[in-house]
Structures are given as C-alpha cells and as structure tokens.
Amino acid sequence: MLSKKTLGVPVGLAAAFALAAAGMASGATAAESPKTMDWQGRGPVKTYKTAWEHFQALKAAAHGGTKKTFADLPDWTGLWERARRPEGWPYPFDLTEPAGGPTTAKLTPEYQAKFDKKMADFRKGIEWDPLSYCLPAGMPRWLTEPRPREYIVRPEAVWMSTEQQSEFRRVYTDGRGHVPEDEAYPLWEGDSIGFWDGDTLVVHTNHMKAGQYQRQQPDYSDQVETVEEIRKVSPTLIEDRTTVYDPPSLLEPWVTIQKYEKIEAGDNLRINMWSCNENNNVVKTAEGVTQFILPGEAGYKDPKTLGKPPQ
C-alpha cells in the first residue's frame, strides 16, 4: 500500500529516483582527492580568486584553445547517465564524499547553518524538493541528476541535454563572450562559454539561479559560477572536473569530479520529452512535508490518462 509520506518527487520523476535507490558507483577514493590528484594527465587543480580568473588561466595555458572542425571533434555520441554509488541516497555533489558523511564543501557560517537545519528537518521526516513543483534542476545541480543525458558536439557549440524536464545547456565555443552584465539575469542553466584544449572541453558558466546541489546537499546562491573540464576518458566514461565558486556559500572553491557512464542498451533507446505537470501528484503540507495525492483522492492525476482533467 502506498504511503502518504514520500521522497518528495513528482510521479513523472519516479524513474529517475528509482535509479537513485539503486545508488551510484563510487568515484575517486578519499586518498585520491580531486584537489590534489593528477586528473587525466592535466595535473592537480589550481583554484583562483574567481571562476573567471580560473577559466582565463586554463585558456592561456591552452594558447587560446583548439579550433575544432567536424573532422576532429571528439565522439561523445550515445546516451549517458551519472555514475552510481552502491550506497544509494543521498546523491552527493562530490562523489568522494563518504556515504552518510559530512559534505566536503567548506561552507560559510550562514550556509552551514542552513544546511544543518535542512538535515535536522530531514531526520524529522520534513523534506521538500523544488523539483516537486515541476521546476528544472538548474545548474550546477544539473550535473547530478540521474536521467539519461546526451551531448551534441559541433564546432561552434556543444549542446548538453538531460531527459529530466528536457533541460538543455548550450556551451558556445565560437569565441563569443558572456552576455553583457547589464543585459544578464539569473537563468536555470546559466550562460556558458567554452573552448577546446585538445579533446577536453573547458567551460565557464555564470548567471545561474540559487538552488541546492541535490536533495540532502547544501544550497548555493545566485552568485554561483563553475569551471568545468570535460573529457571522454574511455569509450564508456565521460568525466567532468567541476570547480564551484560561490563566495556567499563557500569559504573556498569546491573541486569535484563528476562521472557519466555510457548506457548500453538497444537501438530503440532514446531521450523522451515529458511534462511533469501532467501527472504530478506531489503536494507540500503546511509543515513542509512531502505527500502524495493517492488514487481515489480528490485532485489525483492518473498517469494512464495524461493530459485529461484531474478526477
């Protein structure tokens, strides 16, 4: 029998969180901290005062980057999903974080207090995920979502899609700069520009909305920026060394390595477009607790009759 208290996700996201229940494969071990490890021959990460300084330093080291043509673009075809860990939930932003252990992010006092309250509420059974409003995950949380994802690689841009909420990121590699500050505003996926350093895509993203890295993970502010170094390291693995800069929430930049494994399946595997609102039976109580509207209750949306008015 279904319980009223749930994980706090729309029915449309059930498949995604079934993956979460299965867990994620471990990333680097604690002894291989991404702050010091020589990642794919690129050397240990060096952080800077700002994400933009970091991005510009990588670009200078790459002598402005490699101009790609269709003939020499790396092959990132296929569908991919974030690597799984056997422990299951939570989905940590940093795969080296021990299961059930503290976050590896160095949080400011304000955001540490917010995170402590979030976890105290969770232990009381109080948890609400904004995805239950059918909102996008947004960046940088986009990096952690378990839905299938796809990379469309062209000389002038790389498009990154995930099935969840049909979220697209567009990384422009044609030499353009960011949207001017007087025209920019926070976006779910932010504004991303990048360049190729050999077969590594280097990306700077800014102008993102405030959010959380994942459920049972810390929050970030709308000043968050990321620098990513993305590379296909084997036929079945793409790695993304992500450094997060967010002065309101982080005492120092947060260096992580995201991992995406190729989904081995039949020729019919594809990313589908679906609307979370069509069958979202998740509601938030006055106490902030997640509940489902169950079959037979007023307002229940039957997944078998998508698009029809509620019963």
What integer pLDDT is reported at residue 86 of this predicted model?
A: 64
Instruction: For the beta carbon of residue 148, count every other beta carbon within 10 angstroms.
Output: 23
Residue 245, pLDDT score: 98
Report whether 188 contacts 162 (CB < 8 A).
no
Question: How far, in Å, are 193, 223, 243, 291 from residue 226 at the CA level?
Answer: 11, 10, 6, 34
- Has residue 19 got a pLDDT over 80? no
pLDDT tens, position by position, 40-67 = 777 788 999 999 999 999 999 999 999 9
Max CA-CA distance within the chain? 64
Contact criterion met (CB below 8 Å) for 231 and 200: yes
**Total-model pTM:** 0.83
What confidence category does residue 112 fall into, taking pLDDT thresholds of 50, 70 and 90?
Answer: very high
User: Can you give the pLDDT at residue 301?
Assistant: 82
The answer to whether the beta carbons of residues 132 and 9 sit under 8 Å apart is yes
What pLDDT is recorded for position 88? 61
Residue with tokens 């502010």: 221
Q: How many CA atoms lie within 13 A of 265 on its CB side?
A: 12
| Cα atoms found within 13 Å of the Cα of residue 152, Cβ hemisphere only | 11
Q: Which of 246, 208, 244 is nearest to 228 (CA)?
A: 244
Please check the confidence at residue 131 and state whether its pLDDT lies above 90: no
Where residue 28 falls among pLDDT bands split at 50, 70, 90? very low
- Lowest-confidence pick of 185-189, 245-249, 292-296: 292-296
118 - beta bridge partners? none
Kindly report, residue by residue over 161-218, the tens digit of the pLDDT.
Answer: 998 888 999 999 999 999 999 999 999 999 999 999 999 999 999 999 999 999 889 9
How many Cα atoms are found within 13 Å in the side-chain-facing hemisphere of 165?
A: 21
Predicted local distance difference test score (pLDDT) of residue 147 = 87
pLDDT for residue 145 is more than 50: yes
Residues in CB range of 263: below 8 A, 6 or more apart: 78, 79, 80, 81, 148, 269
Q: How far is CA 258 from CA 12, 25, 71, in A?
A: 25, 11, 27
CA-CA distance, 191 to 263, in Å (whole number)? 28
Residue 268 has pLDDT above 90, yes or no: no
Non-local CB neighbours of 154 within 8 Å, separated by 6+ positions:
70, 73
pLDDT of residue 237: 96
